[in-house]
Chain A
Amino acid sequence: MENKDKMKLANDGLPEHEKPLFCDARPQTYKPLGKYVEKFLNWARANSLWILGYGTGCGAIELRPLMTARFDMFRWGLAPRPTPRQAGVFVIGGYMSVKTLKRVIRSYEQMQGPKFVIALGSCTINGGMYWDSYNTINRLDHYLPVDIYITGCMPRPEALIAGFNKLKAMIKAQQTDGQNEYARNFDWYKANQKKIVKDWNMPDYNW
């Protein structure tokens, strides 16, 4: 019983009457399936990357050309997806303000695993030109497990493609596991997030 309660999240950010409206389960870690099965599945995952583009920063402007005839991301099995439920790759489009961080966390948590994060531009690494802004965060991977950083201000679409290809290689090699990392270090991530986001009116984990 006690163990079960430990698995529950406190959801302290929610008023009492709203608590039943949100799921209070903790995220879990997952073991890979058998070696060859997982390898096959990873191949499929790598070749069908559905993007949730979160164009909060100016970097996102370089995401759009990917869909055009010139860069044609579809040929690598990349496709935009309008809902986080179906997307597998979260592309963070640049600097992350306090306000957008909250939404990004929510969207990331709503994605189904395995899920990957590509952070776009210098701002996500160290804040870039906003490093001393009162309103942006500096290091994204304090808040979300980032798989690939693509540097530049802003990075060109070619750089993005390179980043995606790197991600594909990592997936195939089973080198990246952001979902499990997030679940394992959930309390640390959550503490970091809550340090930034003061008006935490969401559940602790957005299923």
Chain B
Amino acid sequence: MEHGLLISIIYAFISLSVATIWGLLLGGIMMKVVARAHGRFGPPFWQPIIDIIKNNARRTSISHGIMYFLGPVFRIAGGMGTFLFIPFIYGSMVFGNFSFAGDLFLVMYFIFFGQLGMALGAGESGHPYSAIGVARGLSQMTAFELPFALSIISIVIQYGTLNITSIVAAQQGGILHWTLFTNPLATIAALIALQGMNMHNPFSIVIAPQEIPIGPPTEYHSNFLGLLQTNRGLFNIAKLALFMNLYFGGATNLFSMLIKTFGIYMITVIVGASFPRFRTEQSIRFFLGVPTVIGILAVLVTGYF
């Protein structure tokens, strides 16, 4: 740490704010895009922010217990932590975050922190749909983590490091240095996994409003839901930033970050708008099929040839 604790906290705050707002707006844009695809106008793209304000403005709330109360805290702490361990913009002091604390694996495992906490909170609500949603989510998570992990292993072999900053550094100097081009197999595997991570169609089996009314957060409302929604924006950006760093050369300035994250997110949007939902076991089998094979190929190609 070259600068003081207070400064780094301020920097982290700025970084978090920017990411959260951008993440929420991205969500709004997605809704807009989907609406246009349906031939609708759709809500304003800042709708997610209004929703969050509204939810926090609720007058009442109920609590099923301490774990229920802490669930959203875990969730957003997970989102914030994940984001903070990823260098957001390469070379930037403000957006460098706390990536000194750990490397790629830390980020990968910190993703679980929020999910686990949320699952526990949802579990304490006592609502069966919450538990079913969590069970589905975890099952699908195991499945998409496999191609993702293989892809990560492949690029770690490729770059010989787990340090995200170093991986970004290695991709500088032209678009052809991006992992997307130097290791397309890993990128494809990871991008398919990303669709699972984002849990939009066809992998929206956790929320599944038609069967298990939105799953885990069935009982969440008011400011709890506000926290969850905030996390949705932030966590989204954290994932996108990770993918941007690993596969798309990272970002050297705010603008390229905006472009790249938007671009990566558009993949999810397009896929989501185009496909109906899988059943749980279909989704699991899907991820363990072609994406995993691609991931294994990526590892074999980088590791053994």
Contact = CB atoms under 8 A, between A and B. Distances in A.
B58 interface: yes
Majority secondary structure, A binding face: loop
Contact of A113 (B53, B59, B217): B59
B62 interface: yes
A184 B47 CA distance: 33
B51 interface: yes
Contacts of A82: 209, 213-214, 218
A77 B43 contact: yes
Contacts of A86: 55, 214, 217, 220-221, 225
B59 A114 contact: yes
A44 B50 contact: yes
A207 interface: yes
A69 B38 contact: yes
B58 A113 contact: yes
A189 interface: no
Interface residues of B, number: 31
Contacts of A135: none
Nearest to A28: B60
Contact of A41 (B38, B53, B221, B222): B53
B42 interface: yes
A75 interface: yes
A54 interface: no
Contact of A75 (B43, B61, B217): B43
Contact of B39 (A30, A69, A77, A113): A69
A45 interface: yes
Contacts of B275: none
A16 B262 CA distance: 57
A75 B54 contact: no
B51 A48 contact: yes
B134 to A, nearest CB: 16
A83 interface: yes
A187 interface: no
Contacts of B47: 47-48, 74, 77
Contact of B41 (A40, A75, A85): A75
B3 interface: no
B222 to A, nearest CB: 5
B194 to A, nearest CB: 25
Contact of B40 (A48, A72, A83): A72
B209 A30 contact: no
Interface string A99-114: 0000000000000111
B290 to A, nearest CB: 32
B233 to A, nearest CB: 15
Interface string B175-187: 0000000000000
B41 A112 contact: no
B218 A44 contact: no
A124 interface: no
Nearest to A76: B43
Nearest to A46: B54
B53 A85 contact: no
Contact of A88 (B43, B50, B54, B217): B54
5 A-B pairs with the lowest CB-CB distances in the bound complex, closest first = A82-B213, A85-B221, A48-B54, A41-B57, A44-B53
11 contacts: A44-B50, A48-B47, A74-B41, A74-B43, A75-B43, A77-B44, A82-B209, A83-B221, A112-B59, A112-B222, A113-B58
Interface of A: 23, 28, 30, 40-41, 44-45, 47-48, 50, 69, 72, 74-75, 77, 79, 82-83, 85-86, 88, 112-114, 179, 207
Given A82-B213, A82-B214, 7 more contacts: A47-B50, A47-B54, A72-B35, A86-B214, A86-B225, A112-B62, A179-B59
